[in-house]
Structure 1
Amino acid sequence: MTLRFRTLFWSVTALLVIAIIGWSFWPRPVLVDTAPITRGPLSVQIRDEGRTRIRDVYAIAAPVSGRLLRIDWEPGDEITTGDVLARVLPAEPSILDARSQGEAEAAIALAEAALSAARAEAQTARSALDLAREEHTRIARLRETGIASQAQLDRAAAELRAAQAASGRAQAAIRMREAEIEAARVHLHGSGSGDQTPAIFDIRSPIEGRVLQVVRESEGPVAAGAPLLEIGEPSGLEIVAEFLSADAVQTGPGDAAEITGWRRDAPPLPARVRRVEPYGFEQVSALGVEEQRVNVVLDFTGEPADWSALGHGYRVETAITVWNSEDALRVPVAALFRQDGDWAVYRIDQDRARLTPVRIGRDNGVDAEVLGGLSADDVVVLYPGEGVVDGATVKDRDLAE
């Protein structure tokens, strides 16, 4: 009896040890993250930073050289057509050095001497005119009595006309010399007394809008063409985004877009591509990489009140939709991996991972379009690790917990 008990005890103990060893070496299912294959909307967007700008910015510059009076306008002030934006006084005459002053004084003396000579010549011409007039009168009387001939009368008339012309030239020479004296005096002393008020040139607004920037505010000398203000109409706001040329070729006028990042917790603003500029330019990134960029211009399509807080030069983030499908078969990008140069996933079939080749279309970095190899409601493994192989037993991590 004792022998039978011992035999049974050690037999059961041996079986338990064998069972425990077998259970410890029995393959356990690999815990994985899973996701179903679904149908639904899928869109592909290109994203980059942009900035807002007013479509028509007017740079107001000084049309003439002179002295700018202080500008009282502030950025953001509303203006109407015809408002005086800035005022410019005529430029003051330059200060003469000793040499220039001596030359100016000598020019005045020379002009005064020339005036004296012109007046003497005018007196001579006046005397000749009086003589010619008296001679013509005397010859005319003699002609009436028949003493003088017609030829003598014609000669006297010609001499009278010549004397009148000479007198006129002499008077013109006097006026010319007086003008020369006045010009020399202006060059030396200025153009008038201090009682005269100099003319002021008013620079007026060509549009109705707002002041964007005051470039020059303080009073002082200003050269012709110097920038003074920038004005514009805020309702004509647009977005300019600098996209990589490889992304810009995917979009075109009319593509829908969303504007984000312009305010915290703000909903996206709808926009639409108006133009892709044909001229690219090189830009160096923050990492020192040379990139070819292209300006893409977008217009807001929502209500102006939604983006009224934006101004000229504000930073925004743009997302342009380059492809969209309302009923696409979607697979998470995290489930895809390369297998012999093609895309593949691990599809779960009866708790086992099955290596499944798939054909992929468009992807947006989160989901990809399935063109073949999977169907709706299939379940795939996300982020497959080394423990996941074809035929391996797997278990959803969420269900295991």
Structure 2
Amino acid sequence: MLRRLIWAIILLAVLAALAWAFWPRPIPVETAEAARRDIAITVEEEGKSRIREVFTVSAPISGQVQRSALHAGDEVLKDETVVAALRPAAPGLLDARLKRVAEAAAASARASVDLAAAEVRQAEAQLTFLNSELSRAERLSRQGTISERALDKAKLDVETAAAALESARASLTVRQRELERAEAALIETGTSEGPCCTEIKAPVTGRILRVLTESEQVVQAGTPLVEIGDPADIEIVADVLSRDAVEIRPGARAVIDNWGGPPLEARVRRVEPSAVTKISALGIEEQRVSVVLDLAGGAPEAAALGDGFRVVTRITVWEGRGLLAVPVASLFRQGGNWAAYAVVNGRAELRRLEIGPRNGAFASIEAGLSEGETVILHPSDQLTDGAAVTPTAAE
């Protein structure tokens, strides 16, 4: 009898142990409270800083630019600081054929000068002779030996000879200039002497951003030499997806972050009307729209933000205050609806929800939960409606 009692006790102990081992235990869960919160929906995108007005100084003429003594960061004053100096470029080398052609042209020009000089001497001699003839005709006319017509003819011949002399002298001047031009064509590199220098002064007051042409070299007209701007006049430009850009309005608040300093406040100044196609890092074509933002004044930390710095922009497109909200980590889809598990008397209770605007952290609740109720974060597939839970408040 005693032996049976002992075996019964052992059997009951084994059954109790098995029951305890397989008895469903409460599932440990993290929870959060449905409470009133301010919700802001933002568009986050990478951007870069840039100086609002950048002036590129270019070479006004072709020539040899002198080595620049300026460096990036140097201050310049409008119409005072010389940012570049150009001297006329030396002529190029002549090959054998061009040199022979130029020498022949110079020889021809010298011959033309000699011919013109001979014509001048001939015209002078002719004028001298006709002046003596005119003097003789005037004496004879006073004696009544020749007619008035003969005297007038002599005067006309003198005037014609004087005009011919002037024409010969002008022709000599033309031939001399042609000779100078022909001889100039023979000047080669290193033998020319030109004035130095054409000075280019700063068009605005600011700082040198980049010296584009630093070493002495020959440049063509229009070659960029330096860039000038005001580092204090900074704006931010971010390329956002076109579907996000339609929600951004000028004047919207924004925060500039992840640039190496504290977050800076900014405002949207302009949303450009045209989108461009860009390829993402994954090789996907995206339509991007440039959004330009102005930094809020009065932030001394912004002085460290330079041109071309990488930043992250968070542009606010919607704000709601005092909304009943829960963390988005508590939501999941059930069919076509949103749902969450609420904790009621230590058990999970499935709730179907109607949610409003949401961001990456919180979602506003329009129906399905009341203020102060507790919801389960990150619900696992072990949870079912009515399951026992052990709640732990999430940090």
Distance of aligned partners of 1:139 and 1:348 in 2 relative to their CA distance in 1, 3 Å threshold: same
The range that moved more, 254-263 or 62-71, is: 62-71
Q: Deviations 1:198-222 (Å, cap 9, x if unpaired)?
A: 3311121111111111222222333
2:131 maps to 133
Residue 310 of structure 1 is aligned with which of 292, 305, 309?
Answer: 305
Q: CA RMSD in A?
A: 2.9
1:111 maps to 109
Give the match's secondary structure for 1:228.
Answer: strand
Q: Which amino acid aligns with 1:229?
A: V
TM-score in terms of structure 1 length: 0.88
2:207 maps to 210
Residue 237 of structure 1 is aligned with which of 234, 237, 240?
Answer: 234
1:167 maps to 165
| CA distance, structure 2, for counterparts of residue 36 and residue 117 of structure 1 | 111
Distance of aligned partners of 1:176 and 1:7 in 2 relative to their CA distance in 1, 3 Å threshold: closer
2:98 maps to 100
Q: Note the C-alpha offset of 1:169.
A: 0.4
- Tell whether 2:357 aligns with 1:359: no
Give the match's secondary structure for 1:380.
Answer: strand
Q: Note the C-alpha offset of 1:141.
A: 5.2
For 1:323-342, what aligned pairs fall within 5 Å after superposition? Answer: 323-342=318-337
Aligned length: 393
For 1:240-389, what aligned pairs fall within 5 Å after superposition? Answer: 240-263=237-260, 266-303=261-298, 305-389=300-384
Distance of aligned partners of 1:191 and 1:171 in 2 relative to their CA distance in 1, 3 Å threshold: farther
Distance of aligned partners of 1:64 and 1:343 in 2 relative to their CA distance in 1, 3 Å threshold: same
| CA distance, structure 2, for counterparts of residue 377 and residue 205 of structure 1 | 66
Q: Deviations 1:359-380 (Å, cap 9, x if unpaired)?
A: 1111111101112222211211
| CA distance, structure 2, for counterparts of residue 154 and residue 363 of structure 1 | 113
Residue 39 of structure 2 is aligned with which of 38, 42, 47?
Answer: 42
Q: Note the C-alpha offset of 1:44.
A: 0.7
- Tell whether 2:179 aligns with 1:184: no
| CA distance, structure 2, for counterparts of residue 381 and residue 230 of structure 1 | 58
Q: Which amino acid aligns with 2:160?
A: A
**Contact 2:87/2:194 (8 A) holds in 1:** no
Distance of aligned partners of 1:51 and 1:307 in 2 relative to their CA distance in 1, 3 Å threshold: same
Distance of aligned partners of 1:398 and 1:250 in 2 relative to their CA distance in 1, 3 Å threshold: closer
Q: Which amino acid aligns with 1:93?
A: P
Q: Deviations 1:249-302 (Å, cap 9, x if unpaired)?
A: 221211110000111xx4210011111112222222222222221111111013
The range that moved more, 376-385 or 8-17, is: 8-17
2:121 maps to 123
| CA distance, structure 2, for counterparts of residue 79 and residue 73 of structure 1 | 9
Q: Which amino acid aligns with 1:176?
A: V
Give the match's secondary structure for 1:92.
Answer: coil
Q: Note the C-alpha offset of 1:140.
A: 4.7
Structure 2: state its 5+ residue gaps.
none
Q: How much identity, in percent, do the aligned residues show?
A: 44
| CA distance, structure 2, for counterparts of residue 368 and residue 192 of structure 1 | 78
Structure 1: state its 5+ residue gaps.
none
The range that moved more, 179-188 or 294-303, is: 179-188
TM-score in terms of structure 2 length: 0.89
Q: Note the C-alpha offset of 1:187.
A: 1.9
The range that moved more, 141-150 or 210-219, is: 141-150
Distance of aligned partners of 1:152 and 1:340 in 2 relative to their CA distance in 1, 3 Å threshold: same
**Contact 1:45/1:322 (8 A) holds in 2:** yes
